[in-house]
Structure 1
Amino acid sequence: MEDKSKIPLTAAEMSGLWTQFMNDSLAVCVNRYFLETVNDEEVRPIIEFTIHTAKRNITIMQDIFKKDDFPIPMGFTDQDVNPKAPKLFSDTFVLTYLRHMSILAMQASGGVLGLVTRPDVVTFHKSVLNAGVELQDLTRNLLLKQGTYIKPPYITTPDAVEFVKQTHYLSGFWGKKRAVTSVEISHLFFNVKTNAIGKALITGFAQIAKDKEVKQFFVKGMKLAQDHIDIFSNFLKEEGLPVPMSWDANVSDCTSSIFSDKLLMFHIAAMNASGIGNYAMAMAASPRRDIALKYASLIPEVSLYAEDGAKIMIKKGWLEEPPQADDRQELIQGH
């Protein structure tokens, strides 16, 4: 019988583990700082749960890497955080941020589970998914209890099952536009909300970043996020639907050094990547042409912004390289 512990890691398994390691090492740093600055005793145990989960994940991944003679990523360490720095974000924003991180964790682990096959890696990513669901439950329940959970809009319940009868269902540029569907509302609402969270986060990062080029990059990101908030909000407002609140007021005036510029840049790069994925899903789920094409036009904007960030990270020597395929041409020419 085949020894399944000796099966080499596939590219998908390497990718999933490497990315998870980077994200968990970042989560430990960020949440260590949150734990030092939190005032709300109901939020504290959720931060502790997040730290415990990330540290457990790191230990499991280190064991897998060692067993496979895979170089353990550097990720982020104590050098990338100053836990004793003043408070930058409100406790309510921290709770909302953790809820957003749980959504990203569920999306990522669910996607990886569709590609991995080695039993120990499958078991690990299942545990990541379960922890993401638990964090989602913990944050949702506390936000609801405290009255700070922002729900998507309510719409009228349909009277009966209907089928589309006219092609104007797809139109959106000329003539009468149909009302937005519940699916389109969900994506528009979610993308306003994620951009609002992203804008508040990047505003705080702009205040504490030390490198001038990094600061300018974050200021550009603040404007980009606000532009996208306005675009998606207008679609909702045209239907008389409410839009999510801004989180800008939840950022303090702290300018102390809290996180390394390397950590700040990686964090925003990861959020840019998830934002592009969200827009692509929303575009595919929006039959109305004006909405779908708006998403299509915004994806390149975010992609170019992400590219600017990658160039800064490469220039500063901050971009840790994920596993790559062998360059056959280089190997051939080198012999």
Structure 2
Amino acid sequence: MPSRQDILNAKILVVDDSPDNIELMEEILREEGYTCVSSTMLPEQVCPLHREHNYDLILLDLQMPGLNGFQVMKGLKEIEQGGYLPVLALTAQPSFKIAALEAGARDFISKPFDLLEVHKRIHNMLEVRLLYKELAQYSKAQQELALHDALTGLPNRRLLEDRIETALQHANRSHAKAAVMYLDLDGFKAINDTYGHAYGDDILKMVSQRLLSSSRKEDTVARLGGDEFMVVLGDIHTLADAQGPAAKLVEALSEPYFINDLTLRLSTSIGISIYPDDAETVDALINIADYALYEAKRAGKNRFCSPAANRQGGAKMPAPAEKPAAELAVPHR
């Protein structure tokens, strides 16, 4: 529930063509303790001002020359787009009250002003408006949680599949290709089993940062779960455009991980599938990349593999002898 201080700090706009009415309302609000009050006598300014400041409450006179309050509310509805319209109508015409509510106003204040009524209606409207904003922010946060991995903050599989579909559509329109890279950490289980999940979680967070640092901003880096990750590359033209980034990722993830007094080492195996060469659907590309990952594991780990490379003569990346697929930790100094 919004606190009293939150309500007093809410952003309020007073709209009236009478300078006396504006001065009176501003004085009423200041005396009550409201700290963020502005005003305008020009109804055509209301929508631009609301776009810029996102007011929590608009005290809107209904009878004004030029644009009247009903026309202003119509413009505000387009800005809010189905949200809570923060309009408290000001009117001296009893017949306008119901019309104002039907037009989108949440409440009304009668002229001449009754001080107790003004305070109560403003407080109640702001309380509801701020609560509505809190719920909207909570809903947005929940949606983010539903689409992102809680540990690393990376997109999860649900969001990943949407990103792949978008990359395929873009590649199709631009007559380009896209790549799906399926990554699995070599030796992660041994580290997790030996040193515990806290160390394992630290490794996964460090891996996610290395993947992001080694990828383009337009690429998608996602965590599927466990020690499995996926990188989606859009706007590529040849297999080599995916092999280069894959080699970079293999190199980046083979660097040592320093956690507390330990130096931990592991590597990664990567399976690559190419759109449209290997498949033309999201599920098929993921499955083919998964199979290519298995082939990379079977061939010795710490390397990448792809069906397209095999068709072109088996272009695979051998594991360097000096960088084993995985090691347990040793103390570092």
- Decide: shared fold, TM above 0.5: no
Query: Which structure's residues are more often strand, by fraction?
Result: 2
Query: Which structure's residues are more often helix, by fraction?
Result: 1
Calculate the TM-score normalised by the size of structure 2: 0.21
Flag the structure with larger Rg.
Answer: 2
RCO higher in structure (CA 8 A, sep ≥6): 1
Calculate the TM-score normalised by the size of structure 1: 0.21
